[in-house]
Structure 1
Amino acid sequence: MSQPLIVRGAPQEYEINQHAWQLLPAHLNKRKLAKLLILHGDASWRAVQQYFPDVSDFAATFCYYGGQCTDVAADHFAGIAQEKQAEAIIAVGGGKVADLAKLTAFRLHLPIIILPTLAATCAAYTPLSVVYNEEGVMLRYDIFHKATDLVLIDPEIILHSPYELMVAGIGDTLAKWYEADAVISQLTVKAIEIQVAEFAAKKCRDLLLAESRSALQAMKNKTLNQAFIDVVETNILLAGMVGGFGDEYGRTSGAHSIHDALTELPQSHHLLHGNKVAYGILVQLMIEGKTEEIHRLLPFYRELQLPASLEEMGLNLTEAEFQTVGARAAEPNENIHFMKQTITSEVVVAAMKQLERLKA
């Protein structure tokens, strides 16, 4: 593998502490930003609106983002931003609203500020957007030349986010090590940037395996502890560092290609991103012949209730659907080909079927 390496290491400013959102007006004034387009979720906005700072001194337009990051949605909100003469775009919510806000801001060359309500992905940290079509099929991810301007994280807000989304975030972030290792382990010489990515990826795995239980217990108890804060930062900051420093050597390989392929199935669209990625980790490991590692992970999956099979995701695929998923995963532009194995549709389907037969 010989890919160009561009470091996009971090947002311009990142802060995590209780009441961090209340610092937003000061940050806006410091940047001399007065006109704002604020994109937010639906249920998440109802849950966190009371924590959102007073922006009555600014010309703020609030919009529900619509539920998906698509080119059509980005064009729509770009039009609203231009009409309102917005000077910045602010995202309040999870990964899809963050991705849509970034995509919209990039098209207009506007600053982007993100206040995450979840720790389900690293979207708040990374200068890229995952773009879907109107039917919910993943199309591509766009990488931007400019980092997010500001990320403000209040762990108390995330503590009260849906438990299942934190679990999915752990599944998504766990993939950072397995996907990066599949690529980086092929290198005979590792640039310093790649060493940083490898360190962050390994730290993701080790910290999640060690601290997820305590962090999730904190969510159940609605009481902050250090493990919870560590897992939040692992899912957002550490996970973002892997691709931020490793670029294509650290972003995705097998597990996310499996996720992307599953989006071809309409019956998978209700499943959480991180759960599909967690399943994809095991398919990737099966392709690599690492069944011992699968067995090492299965108790962790069982404890957190991450899906370890299609059956556990409620997916009963026909042979034609297996072929659809296999063909999509093995498309020439998919990052699964960064793995050292020769990947074909048949290889993917065989690994998926082997995983279904695997007994814990």
Structure 2
Amino acid sequence: MTKQLIVRGAPQEYELKPNAWNSLEFHLERRNIKNILILHGEKSWSAVKPYFPELSLAKSFHYYGGQCTDSAAENFASLCKKEQFDGIVAVGGGKVADLGKFVAYKAQLPIIILPTLAATCASYTPLSVIYDETGVMLRYDIFPKANDLVLIDPAVILHSPRELMIAGIGDTLAKWYESNVIISQLAVKPLEVQVAEFAAKKSHEILLNKSIAALNAMDKKEMNQAFIDVVEANILLAGMVGGFGDEYGRTAGAHSIHDALTVISGSHEQLHGNKVAYGILVQLMIENKQTEIEQLLPFYQLLNLPINLAAMNLNLTDSEFQAVAERACAPGEMIHLMKETITPELVIEKMKALEEFTKN
């Protein structure tokens, strides 16, 4: 198996500490950034505005628009040129971060990310997932430059919605299953891939052992080490898996199933990480690892992660099963990195088998 292996290990700078956002102006001054575009979410922005520091430099706040699309990136890149911005700050969840990175690449500007959630590793990784205007996932673009800075204030994430942290756990859990299915096929593991494997295994261990304590911390609004560890598993460790492993550590079956589900409009109501968590179970079913599914189910049920389509309120018709399966098996999809020969017929068979396996 010969895949691309370019190390993109980390942002240029990463900092997690109490009141981290208060150092934003210091970091901007260090970079000689004096006029910034600030992209932000909608609900998340209203929740985190009290944490956002007063800045003495020139700034312009813009709602990102709700989706990371080609047209949104073009529009904001044009705005950067018109307003002569010399830096971009993205404040929000994964789609805000992805759009910020995409715009920064197009405008050739530094990107600083202040995550408001630990739902994905988007703030850490130099890539963006691109969707069309209807919410169908199109592709992901990898950029040739690391994110300039990630500033994480754990108090911001402690007060974020619990269900988004759970989605992040589901998304990150896939790092182990997807990287392992690829790396286990290698006769020789390059050191870079060994680092990716370590990060994936460590994140898996942390999530299974500390997620409940971390969620309890969120319920009580009381910081604890388990919470910090899960946040960093979802962001730092998850980012390291693809950062060091590249195509040996990025995605395989679970994310291909997620991407395929986006062709069903009813799935858009489900969070990214929830669909990925479901994809893990489909991948394991393809691998005929029902014992591992049985071991995961109690954890899924504790966190209310979906164990089947029914749990996501999806009742697919035959034509919808076919559409999902064909998208999952499209040429170039990462599901083909699995050792099995993947066909639409196999995907449909295993998706239906999972429904039967988990219906009780």
TM-score past 0.5 threshold: yes
Give the structure 2 partner of residue 9 of structure 1. 9
Residue type at the aligned position of 1:238: L
Q: How does 1:72-83 map to 2 (within 5 A)?
A: 72-83=71-82
Task: Specify the alignment match of 2:96 in structure 1.
Answer: 97
Quote the Cα distance in structure 1 between the aligned partners of 2:289 and 2:131: 32
Q: Distance in 1 between matches of 2:71 and 2:108?
A: 18
Counterpart of 2:110 in structure 1 is 111
Other-structure match for 2:237 = 238
User: Residue 160 of structure 1 corresponds to which residue in structure 2?
Assistant: 159
Rounded to whole Å, the distance in 2 between the matches of 1:263 and 1:349 is: 16
Give, in angstroms, the shift of residue 4 of structure 1: 2.1
> In the aligned structure 1, how far is the partner of 2:326 from the partner of 2:12?
39
Q: Which residue of 2 aligns with 1:256?
A: 255
1:60, distance to aligned residue in structure 2 (A)? 0.3
CA distance in 2 between counterparts of 1:264 and 1:81 reads 33
Q: Distance in 1 between matches of 2:50 and 2:205?
A: 35
Unpaired runs of 5+ residues, structure 1, are none
The 5-angstrom pairing of residues 1-360 of structure 1 reads 1-55=1-55, 57-359=56-358
| CA–CA separation in structure 2 for the residues paired with 1:184 and 1:294 | 20
Question: Residues of 1 paired with 2:38 and 2:269: CA distance?
Answer: 26
Residues of 2 paired with 1:330 and 1:102: CA distance?
28
Which letter maps to 1:28? L
Alpha-carbon distance in structure 1 between the residues aligned to 2:120 and 2:245 = 17
SS in 1 for 2:296: helix
2: distance between equivalents of 1:79 and 1:45? 23
1:116-175 CA distance string (max 9 Å, x none)? 000000000000000000110000000011000000000001000000000000000000
**Structure-2 separation of matches of 1:354 and 1:206:** 28
Q: C-alpha deviations, 1:244-271, integer Å up to 9, x for none?
A: 0000000000000000000000111111
| SS of match in other structure, 2:151 | strand
CA distance in 2, matches of 1:169, 1:349: 26
Question: Which whole-Å CA distance do the structure 2 matches of 1:110 and 1:348 have between them?
Answer: 42
What is the DSSP-based 3-state SS (H/G/I as helix, E as strand, rest coil) of the residue aligned with 1:22? helix
Q: Quote the offset at 1:240 in angstroms.
A: 0.1
Instruction: Provide the C-alpha distance between the structure 2 equivalents of 1:233 and 1:200, rounded to a whole number of angstroms.
Output: 11
In the alignment, the residues of structure 1 paired with residue 4 and residue 299 of structure 2 have an alpha-carbon distance, to the nearest angstrom, of 35
Instruction: Quote how far apart the aligned CAs of 1:94 are.
Output: 0.1
Deviation at 1:336, TM superposition (A): 0.4
Q: C-alpha displacement at 1:48, in angstroms?
A: 0.4
Secondary structure of 2:298's match? helix
1:74 aligned counterpart, secondary structure: helix
Distance 1:339 1:270 in 2: 28
The residue identity in structure 2 corresponding to 1:47 is: A
Partner Cα distance (1:349, 1:66) in 2: 35
User: Over residues 169-209 of structure 1, what are the superposed CA-to-partner deviations in whole Å (9 max), with x where a residue is unaligned?
Assistant: 00000000000001000000000000000000011111100
1:283 CA drift (Å): 0.1
Distance 2:188 2:34 in 1: 48
Any idea what SS the aligned residue of 1:63 has? strand
Distance 1:206 1:347 in 2: 30
**Gaps in structure 2 of 5+ consecutive residues:** none
Q: Which runs of 4 or more aligned residues in structure 1 lie more than 4 Å from their structure 2 counterparts after TM superposition? A: none
Deviation at 1:273, TM superposition (A): 0.1
Give, in angstroms, the shift of residue 82 of structure 1: 1.1
For 2:2 and 2:325, the matched residues in 1 are separated by 25
CA distance in 1: counterparts of 2:36 and 2:133, whole angstroms:
26
SS at match of 1:258: helix
The Cα of 1:279 is off from its aligned counterpart by 0.1
Aligned length: 359
CA RMSD of aligned residues (A): 0.6
**d(CA) in 1 for partners of 2:174 and 2:4?**
22
> 2-side partners of 1:306 and 1:81: how far apart?
40
What TM-score comes out, normalization by structure 1 length? Answer: 0.99
